[in-house]
Amino acid sequence: MSHFELHPDRFFDSDSLIRGYAREIFSSVKSLPIISPHGHVDPKIFVDNKPFENPTQLFITPDHYLFRMLYSQGISMEALGIPSVNGTEVEKDPRKIWKLFAENYFLFQGTPSGIWLDHEFSIIFGIREKLNGSNADKIYDELNEKLISPEFLPRRLFEKFDIEVLSTTDGSTDSLEYHKSINESGWSGRVIPCFRPDAVTDLSNPNWKSNVELLGKVCGYEISSFQIFIQSLEERRSFFKTIGCTSTDHGVFSPFTHELSASEAEKIFQRGLKGKSTLEDENLFTAHMLMEMARMSIEDGLVMQIHPGSYRNHNPVIFANYGADKGADIPMHEEFTFNLKELLNKYGNNPKLTVIVFTLDESTYSRELAPLSGHYPSMKLGPAWWFHDSIEGMTRYRQMVTETAGFYNTVGFNDDTRAFVSIPARHDLARRIDSNFLAGLVARHIISLDEAFSVAKDLTYNLVKKTYKL
């Protein structure tokens, strides 16, 4: 049983000059409120405000980062209690799952998941030992006890985390009832939706037609033409705005953008309704919808986000048995210079548009994304995303982006998490890495310490607030 206290200088370079500056810079930003402009927390937890069920349900079951790694080492999804689609029996005992997780906790050494969990256990829950097979039961009990105390209810944690605003991610047909409830509850927490219409803009989705029908139902009319489809999306964006929404999000396979004529769009839309889409239709439809979304953003002011390049559900065995978001999404090589050209050429010089672009292909940082966002006024570069939201990943991001795009064409941090209690851990890590990066610039006399303080505050707080209009 090893003693377990997070070091105050953790993740800073060990060079004493850099470490000293990093400490100072981090001190100046560590207590700023958290702005979380993009993520996947379920808003219902703040409506119910009930205790989290148990440590396994809280930490493991919703976190595909964790069972992805465990699965890669030969541990079955059944043994981890991941609910099966077809009703196959899976492990039901949360304590047994916890034990299995604890025994394999060493797999997360050197990974961001390990870092976030250590932070959550130690700082949020006050656990004083590093989790392992021997102390698994004891820590399970400690966590369980805390979870039922009022201090660990969702709203209380939201306040303790000092979250100024939290954005969820919501389908175009979502009623936003939980957001409304929160708004009307009198509770001061600001939880806002983000408009993500992928289910109806992705023609390759096998449920596309029924998704469009549902959209029609929500709007109160039949969506029989592309024109009506566009109208329905404009209405839904408008509705989202009334609930506090300031942004949209587009999780596309490719960032290809291309404008169709009205009649081409209509033809493709009609083929889609008849279930006769071709692969080309699918590509063109998404490409055109990105153009439409940019146009709408200019009109209604919603900030547009593009998250491309993940091959979702790469493993059909896992998808068939456990569904989506189970750790089997794999990045692909990506291209932006050609793909974004049409969108940027038509809308990228318009000061009314903000389009934030993300990537999973780090080779595009210095080659395409920094040059593009360092030229087009509408384009900003989103932070290191998903697999790259890590010490080395965020460091590479700053190293490959800053010299071409500067700091001010980036937009601060996104935690992008499904795991609510990981939010402070993720922001702590991001603030430390940015502080350490700035410290390295100060130590090498590239910027002054005063400049570093100012940039650090912008990266932590001002840029995200301004860019996302929060």
What angle (nearest 5°) sits at the alpha carbon of residue 249, between those of residues 246 and 253? 170
Residue 455 interacts with a second copy (CB under 8 A)? Answer: yes
Q: How many CB atoms lie within 10 A of CB 403?
A: 12
Which DSSP state fits 225?
S
Query: Contact 380/297 with Cβ under 8 angstroms?
Result: no
Nearer to a second copy, 7 or 92 (CB): 7
Quote the CA–CA distance of 460 and 452 in Å, as a whole number.
12
Of the pair 275, 316, the CB lying nearest a second copy is at 316
Using CB under 8 A as the criterion, what x/- string covers residues 18-57 for binding a second copy?
Answer: x---------------------------------------
Does 333 interact with a second copy (rule: CB under 8 A)?
yes
Among 136, 203, 344, 456, binds a second copy (CB under 8 A): 344
- Inter-CA distances, 404 with 49, 347, 389, 400, Å: 45, 22, 21, 8
Helix and strand element counts for the chain (H, E) = 22, 11
Among 51, 189, 301, 371, binds a second copy (CB under 8 A): 371
CB 464, min distance to a second copy, A: 16
Q: Which is nearer to a second copy, 134 or 185 (CB)?
A: 134
Of positions 33, 48, 72, 83, contacts a second copy by CB under 8 A: 72
Could you tell me the smallest distance in angstroms from the CB atom of residue 167 to a second copy? 24
Q: In this chain, which of 174, 361, 415, 416 binds a second copy, going by CB under 8 A?
A: 361
Is 330 a binding residue for a second copy by CB under 8 A? The answer is yes
- Count residues binding a second copy (CB under 8 A): 93
Site membership for a second copy, residue 382 (CB under 8 A): no
Residue 391 interacting with a second copy (CB under 8 A): yes
| Distance of alpha carbon 65 from alpha carbon 57, whole angstroms | 14
Q: Which of 404, 417, 422, 467 binds a second copy (CB under 8 A)?
A: 404
Nearer to a second copy, 94 or 112 (CB): 112
Which residues inside 112-151 make contact with a second copy, applying CB under 8 A? 112, 115
Report CA dihedral (236, 238, 242, 247) to the nearest 10 degrees.
90
Opening angle at CA 66, ends 62 and 67, nearest 5 = 80
Candidate list 1, 10, 262, 469; residue touching a second copy; CB under 8 A:
10
Residues 279-318 that bind a second copy (CB under 8 A): 311, 314-318
H helix intervals, 312-390:
316-322, 341-347, 363-364, 370-373
Of 3-11, 186-194, 204-212, 220-228, the segment contacting a second copy by CB under 8 A is 3-11
Closest CA to 298 of 223, 372, 234: 234
Q: Distance (Å, rounded) from C-alpha 455 to C-alpha 432?
A: 13
